[in-house]
C-alpha cells in the first residue's frame, strides 16, 4: 500500500489577509491553529482594527499599508466588502510578486472577478472564492478558528486558470476544515441569489415592516416576537455595508429570483384566500423535507429550538 506523501508544513510560505472582520480574523485563527502559513500578515484600513488584531496576536505581522501587507505574499485573501474590491486591487497591484494567488471571500463572484481583472497585473493568479459560513457578528473579536469546519467554500476560477494555483488554494481551504466546490462565477451568483441573497432581502423587509408597525401595535411586535420573527432579526442584523454591496453587485440574479419568488408568493396568497388546504399542505410538506435534507448533510442542527440555549 502506497501512502500519499504528507502535506508540507507550512502549506503557504507567506499568507496575507486584507480586511479583519469575522471572516478575515477567522482565517487568521484557523491558519494559526493548523500552522498553515510560515508567516501570516494582516491588514485593515481602520487603525483601531489593526491595533486590536495586534493585541489578539492572531497574525504574525500587522502591516501598516496594503503595499507592505502584500509584499512577497504567496496568497492574498481579500476580506473586504464587494464594493471595495476594485479599490483594494488597485492599491495592491504594483506590489504583488509574479505567481501570487489573489482570492477573496465575497458573496458575489462575477463582479469581483471583473474588478480584480481590471486592476491586477499579468502573472498573478486570480481565483475568486466564497466561504459559505458566517454569523451575524462582525469585527476581529467575532472570529473563531472553526468557523469553516464542514462548511462549503466555493472557488470560481476563470476559464484557463492555473490548475496548480487552484489546487493550492483548494487545499488551503480544505485544511481550514471546509468542503471545497468549484463552479463558474455566473452559476455561483445564481445559486447564492436563492440560497442567501433573497432570503436576506426578505428578512430585511419583514423586519422593516415590523418596525413600521411597531408604533401602531404599541410595541407588541417586539414584545411578543416568536421564533420565526427572531430568526429573521438575526439575519437582518448582518453587516449593512456588506449586504448593500451584495445586492448592488448581484442585481441581475437577485432580480431574476425575486421575480420567481413574487409569482410563488401570489400563488400562496391565492391558496389562502380560496381556502385551498391541500395546496398549502403539499407545499409545507415539500419545504419540511428540504429542512430535513439540510440537517442530514450536516449543514444545520436538529437540536430543539435550533440549538439555542434555553431562555
Per the structure, how many domains does the chain have? 2
Residues 117 and 69 in one domain: yes
What pLDDT, on a 0 to 100 scale, did the predictor assign at position 290?
76
The residue written with cell numbers 491558519 in the block is 31
Residues 176 and 196 in one domain: no
Element (H, E) at 111: helix 110-119
Report yes or no on 236 lying in a domain: yes
Residue 190, CB half-sphere, CA atoms under 13 Å: how many?
6
Q: 34: domain CATH number?
A: 3.40.50.720
What pLDDT, on a 0 to 100 scale, did the predictor assign at position 306?
46
- Interior/surface letters 289-298, b for 16+ CB within 10 angstroms, e for the rest: eeeeeeeeee
Residues 123 and 269 in one domain: no
Residues 96 and 219 in one domain: no
> DSSP readout, 3-69?
PPPPPPSSSEEEEEEE--SHHHHHHHHHHHHHT-EEEEEEE-SSHHHHHHHHHHT-SSEE-SSHHHH
Report yes or no on 175 lying in a domain: yes
Tell me how far apart the alpha carbons of residues 20 and 38 are, in angstroms, rounded to a whole number: 19
| Residue range of the domain that includes 252 | 187-274
What cell was used for 265? 408568493
What pLDDT, on a 0 to 100 scale, did the predictor assign at position 101?
98
Residues 179 and 246 in one domain: no
Report yes or no on 291 lying in a domain: no
Residues 167 and 214 in one domain: no
Residue pair 236/202 in contact (Cβ under 8 Å)? The answer is: no
What pLDDT, on a 0 to 100 scale, did the predictor assign at position 241?
86
Residues 175 and 191 in one domain: no
At 122, is the secondary structure helix, strand, or coil? coil
Output the tens digit of pLDDT for each of the chain's 311 residues.
344 455 567 899 999 999 999 999 999 999 999 999 999 999 999 999 999 999 999 999 999 999 999 999 999 999 999 999 999 999 999 999 999 999 999 999 999 999 999 999 999 999 999 999 987 788 999 999 999 999 999 999 999 999 999 999 999 999 999 999 999 999 999 999 998 889 889 988 988 887 777 665 556 666 766 667 778 888 888 888 888 999 999 999 999 999 999 999 999 999 999 999 999 999 989 888 877 776 676 666 555 444 444 34
Residues 172 and 75 in one domain: yes
Residues 192 and 158 in one domain: no
What cell was used for 119? 486592476
Amino acid at each position: 500500500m502506497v501512502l500519499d506523501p504528507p502535506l508540507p508544513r507550512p502549506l503557504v510560505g507567506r499568507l496575507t489577509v486584507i480586511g479583519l472582520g469575522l471572516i478575515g480574523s477567522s482565517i487568521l485563527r484557523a491558519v494559526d491553529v493548523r500552522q498553515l502559513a510560515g508567516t501570516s500578515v494582516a491588514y485593515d484600513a481602520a487603525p483601531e482594527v489593526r491595533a486590536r488584531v495586534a493585541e489578539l496576536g492572531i497574525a504574525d505581522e500587522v502591516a501598516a499599508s496594503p503595499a507592505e501587507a502584500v509584499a512577497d505574499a504567496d496568497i492574498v485573501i481579500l476580506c473586504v466588502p464587494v464594493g471595495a474590491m476594485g479599490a483594494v486591487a488597485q492599491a495592491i497591484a504594483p506590489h504583488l510578486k509574479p505567481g501570487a494567488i489573489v482570492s477573496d471571500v465575497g458573496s458575489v463572484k462575477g463582479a469581483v472577478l471583473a474588478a480584480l481583472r481590471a486592476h491586477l497585473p499579468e502573472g498573478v493568479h486570480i481565483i475568486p472564492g466564497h466561504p459559505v459560513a458566517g454569523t451575524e457578528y462582525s469585527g476581529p473579536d467575532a472570529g473563531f478558528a472553526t468557523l469553516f469546519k464542514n462548511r462549503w467554500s466555493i472557488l470560481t476560477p476563470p476559464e484557463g486558470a492555473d490548475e496548480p494555483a487552484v489546487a493550492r488554494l483548494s487545499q488551503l481551504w480544505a485544511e481550514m476544515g471546509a468542503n471545497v466546490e468549484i463552479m463558474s462565477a455566473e452559476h455561483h451568483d445564481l445559486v447564492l441569489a436563492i440560497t442567501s441573497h433573497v432570503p436576506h432581502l426578505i428578512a430585511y423587509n419583514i423586519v422593516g415592516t415590523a418596525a413600521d408597525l411597531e408604533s401602531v401595535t404599541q410595541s407588541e411586535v417586539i414584545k411578543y416576537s416568536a421564533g420565526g420573527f427572531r430568526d429573521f432579526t438575526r439575519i437582518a442584523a448582518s453587516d449593512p455595508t456588506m449586504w448593500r454591496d451584495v445586492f448592488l453587485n448581484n442585481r441581475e440574479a437577485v432580480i431574476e429570483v425575486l421575480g420567481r419568488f413574487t409569482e410563488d408568493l401570489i400563488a400562496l396568497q391565492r391558496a389562502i384566500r380560496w381556502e385551498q388546504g391541500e395546496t398549502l399542505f403539499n407545499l409545507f410538506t415539500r419545504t419540511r423535507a428540504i429542512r430535513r435534507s439540510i440537517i442530514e448533510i450536516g449543514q444545520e442542527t436538529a437540536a430543539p429550538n435550533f440549538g439555542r440555549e434555553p431562555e
